[in-house]
Homo-oligomer: A and B are copies of this chain.
């Protein structure tokens, strides 16, 4: 519930107010979804008037689009990008561990699954996930030549796994997955990454 009013809403600072609204909205959209996020609550989080949302983002839809656009385009989490399958698995295990993303409350990929009902944002969301897939392929080596359809499918299964972990944790809190640490996730994820993306030993 607390995200952005850390140091108080700066009055008469348009950019800061806009940013604070965006962060509050991102948090609510991520945690609660589009429908259960009310503009009144977002404005109240920041401590400003409701009409400012219209001023800065025009509508709830506009706010949602802006929040979507501000979602991290991950893999690597501020550090350098992973260069091999081991690095990829480790990055994933950190990203999918419990308590990562404290500033969002939940894994930010959830935002990409939230549906506002507007057909036009679908493309936006699809592109973001596709970019994620591309990053996985690049990190797992293999070179662009081998990126045939099956390899793409395998990368997408890895994306789906990440999404599934975030969703299951958020929606039902299944234990022990819910509180799994990066250390606990490391081994299984490494094996999955290898199983999915290691180059075939034989001429499959």
Contacts and interface: CB of A to CB of B under 8 A. Distances in A.
Contacts of A176: 149, 152-153, 156
Interface residues of A, number: 46
Nearest to A171: B113
Interface string A92-130: 000000000000000000001101010000100110011
A165 B113 CA distance: 12
Contacts of A150: 184, 187-188
Given A160-B164, A160-B168, A172-B122, A191 B184 contact: no
Nearest to A193: B195
A202 interface: no
Contacts of A161: 157, 160-161, 164
B172 A129 contact: yes
Assembly stoichiometry (copies): 4
A75 to B, nearest CB: 16
A165 B168 CA distance: 12
Interface in A137-193: 149-150, 152-154, 156-157, 159-165, 167-168, 171-174, 176-177, 180, 184-185, 187-189, 191-192
A172 to B, nearest CB: 5
A160 B172 contact: no
Given A33-B35, A154-B188, 7 more contacts: A129-B172, A150-B188, A152-B176, A156-B168, A159-B174, A160-B165, A163-B168
